[in-house]
């Protein structure tokens, strides 16, 4: 699968192997992939980069906040950013999420992640 529009995607995942795998997959299809191991690192990246189109975050991770808290903070800071939340531990009702937010339960297929990014970019 190829990205329909190139996006700048910030991957927030505390498991390095998963984070690196997603980074490789997104770059292979033409996206610019940035990475952070937790919410605190993600906020530093977002302060330094105004061009982030998509936040892709896991729910459960160490640090001062989890992925849901990060998503809420980012939504307040940047209402137009697309947000994808993923988890293998919790299930979120997609209908209860704010506009321009998607939930991907783990495990997910890379094609599903790419198509979700594409849908949030249109």
Convert the pLDDT of each residue in 53-108 to its tens digit: 999 999 999 889 999 999 999 999 999 999 999 998 888 777 767 778 999 999 99
For residue 4, what pLDDT is reported?
A: 61
| 21 within 8 A of 45, measured Cβ to Cβ | no
Alpha-carbon dihedral sign for residues 7, 11, 40, 99: positive
Minimal CA–CA distance to 12: which of 69, 77, 61, 52? 61
Minimal CA–CA distance to 55: which of 82, 32, 23? 82
What is the CATH class of 6-118?
alpha beta
Q: 């529009």: which residue's tokens?
A: 5
For residue 98, what pLDDT is reported?
A: 74
Minimal CA–CA distance to 113: which of 39, 13, 45? 13
**Domain residues of the chain, as ranges?**
6-118
Sheet containing 82-87: give its strands across: 32-36, 8-12, 54-58, 82-87, 101-105
Rounded to 5, what percent of the chain is helix, strand, coil? 40, 20, 40
The answer to whether the pTM exceeds 0.85 is yes
**Cα(12)–Cα(2) distance, rounded to whole angstroms?**
22
């Amino acid at each position: 699968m190829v990205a329909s529009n190139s996006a700048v995607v910030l991957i927030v995942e505390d498991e390095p192997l998963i984070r690196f795998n997603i980074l490789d997959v997104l770059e292979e299809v033409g996206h610019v992939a940035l990475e952070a191991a937790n919410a605190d690192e993600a906020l530093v990246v977002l302060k330094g980069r105004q061009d982030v189109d998509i936040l892709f975050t896991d729910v459960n991770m160490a640090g001062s906040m989890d992925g849901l808290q990060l998503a809420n903070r980012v939504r307040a800071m940047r209402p137009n950013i697309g947000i994808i939340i993923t988890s293998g531990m919790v299930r979120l009702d997609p209908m209860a999420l704010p506009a321009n937010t998607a939930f991907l339960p783990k495990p997910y297929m890379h094609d599903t992640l790419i198509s979700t990014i594409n849908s949030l970019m249109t």
